[in-house]
A and B are shown apart, each in its own frame.
Chain A
């Protein structure tokens, strides 16, 4: 566990998550790389600061549940699960290949540490509500994280779930929404204006924080506040992230929902990421 101001190790975790994601992206030559690079800091803080789990026993009853609602972010979660030693690193090269345990869209039945089958967007938050209710029935103190996207704010089911979480005062639920401002058809706010986002969730009975999702210190503070909040409310961390964060020539691409990267560019991207490595 890192302390505020001493998060070098979390930065290094995030760097390795980016590296794992790039190596998987290279297997396909294209994919949801920009999302993975953008959300890497959020995953680093989630898996190496805020979440309890046992790498050798991904279904340990006492674990915090981490749900990936955004199925196509699987590449990002695999990168974190590899860093967390839940998935062996050598499986990385099988990403999205026939018979791999790492399909391009997340599937609970295939992958250790993948709690739900995502991909039909707008499912995660509602499933999280059910898990939260079940954990309370069992007297469990575990938290349920649901990582979802700004695009999923378009789905009505997200709001059904948000309202019920407030109604049931699910203080064991921590929603993490990745606001990277990019959807399949273009910038998120142009697809559907979901702002002002924080007041929407607050009015639904949530404790809401909004942070720079690429600022590890800010993320650590927000996750700590979410976990230690006394109010009987579900918690939301809105993370404003930058698509393709950490690889400037990919950050600069305008349409980067599904990135096509030239063969020679992968090595270049890895070189940039590796330059940030801690000796």
Chain B
């Protein structure tokens, strides 16, 4: 899929009736065709908890509709502040409102919060431990729009910011539980948002989100997959497929990236004889995988092997999301084949 403006893509033009996936496919949802979903769990949950908590206000930078904050805006129009397409202002204004006792929930895309507004989150919000919740759509690789919209390094950037709590939820069930927990937590939080029709996965496992805690969702003898965000969904699907191939895979879900639940991670990694695989929707650099690797090194814990499933250190391509997830190794099929390959080494 190497492309160049100097080479005409003849193979696309003369390929008969072969259907091509389009970039706009799955624009409103990362759900697969048969997956149960819930609409806008963030927007509905925030609107509901705001009924009981008058401190909550919502701010967006011209992306309310694309971050599910429009649900909150419809429920509480006088508590919604449109800051225009100005992410620096978005963070400064949120800091000002938090100083006066409100709890601002600000939304934009993860690329803009991390790359454009970093200084404003860092100094105006985090340094003063202000109670601002930053909720950002399109984390990692969840859009096919190309590097301008793909926040493949958001966690790497935000992990370096003191005081900031980082949450990477897996599905609608978890978002519904995480939003009130984040509201109850005093201090700045960055949450990666899954928007639109969000897959519903963790309800069938009786899962309960607890801020700061990793949870073992399924146990297994051969390999331990440690994952966050949508990769937990992929890890659980992969574990089912691996089971059919005689591989017993455990899945440890780590929705709180910072502060990291090192105790649980170390306890699981100390169990002998398992391949440890960290799977994340994020670049290989500076995310969950490297955080866990460093934790293991510092504690002298050496699993049988340690591998990472993550995005490469590249600006990613534009295209249809299923194509890109396959290309960069985040699809269930690629997770399964990667783990089988490592177990065979």
Measured CB to CB, the residues of A under 8 A from B are 108-109, 115-117, 119-120, 122-123, 125-135, 137-138, 156-157, 160-161, 163-164, 167
Contacts and interface: CB of A to CB of B under 8 A. Distances in A.
B84 A108 contact: no
Given A117-B128, A120-B123, A127 B99 contact: yes
B96 A167 contact: no
Contact of A130 (B93, B119, B127): B93
Contacts of B57: 137
A157 B96 CA distance: 14
Given A109-B128, A123-B120, A129 B102 contact: no
Contact of A164 (B89, B119, B128): B89
Q: Which of A117, A126, A128, A135 has the most CB of B within 10 A?
A: A126
Nearest to A140: B100
Contacts of B94: 130
Interface in B97-143: 97-102, 104, 119-120, 122-124, 127-128
B86 A127 contact: no
Contacts of B285: none
Contact of A138 (B98, B100, B119): B100
Closest 9 CB pairs of A and B: A130-B96, A126-B92, A134-B100, A130-B93, A160-B89, A131-B96, A160-B86, A157-B88, A127-B96
Interface in B67-104: 81, 83-84, 86, 88-89, 91-102, 104
A128 B84 contact: no
A131 to B, nearest CB: 4
B127 A117 contact: yes
Contacts of A128: 96
Contacts of A125: 92
Given A120-B122, A129-B96, A130-B92, 11 more contacts: A109-B128, A120-B119, A128-B96, A130-B96, A133-B97, A134-B96, A134-B99, A157-B120, A160-B84, A160-B86, A167-B84
A130 B97 contact: yes
B341 to A, nearest CB: 47
15 contacts: A117-B123, A122-B88, A123-B92, A126-B88, A126-B89, A126-B120, A129-B89, A130-B97, A130-B98, A131-B99, A134-B100, A135-B100, A137-B102, A157-B92, A160-B88
Contact of A127 (B83, B102, B124): B124
A73 B81 CA distance: 31
Interface residues of B, number: 27
Nearest to A107: B127
Given A120-B119, A123-B124, A130 B88 contact: no
A123 B91 CA distance: 10
Q: Which of A132, A156, A161 has the most CB of B within 10 A?
A: A161
A128 B124 CA distance: 11
A109 B128 CA distance: 7
A58 to B, nearest CB: 14
Q: Which of B89, B94, B95, B97 has the most CB of A within 10 A?
A: B89
A129 B93 CA distance: 6
Nearest to A124: B92
Contacts of A130: 92-100, 104
A33 B132 CA distance: 36
A131 B100 contact: yes
Given A128-B96, A134-B101, A135-B100, A157 B89 contact: yes
A114 to B, nearest CB: 11
A133 B96 contact: yes
Contacts of B128: 108-109, 116-117
Q: Which of A115, A131, A134, A163 has the most CB of B within 10 A?
A: A134
Given A117-B127, A156-B88, A164-B86, A131 B97 contact: yes
Contacts of B93: 126-127, 129-130, 133, 164
A85 B123 CA distance: 28
B208 to A, nearest CB: 34
B101 A161 contact: no
Contacts of B104: 130
Contacts of A116: 95, 99, 124, 128
B99 A164 contact: no
B123 A161 contact: no
Nearest to A108: B128
A120 B100 CA distance: 21
Contacts of B98: 130
Contacts of B92: 123, 125-127, 129-130, 157, 161
A123 B101 CA distance: 19
A135 B100 CA distance: 7
Nearest to A119: B123
A246 to B, nearest CB: 32
A269 to B, nearest CB: 33
A6 B128 CA distance: 41
A136 to B, nearest CB: 10
Contacts of B88: 122, 126, 156-157, 160
A164 B96 contact: no
A132 B120 contact: no
B89 A132 contact: no
Interface string B233-262: 000000000000000000000000000000
Contacts of B122: 120
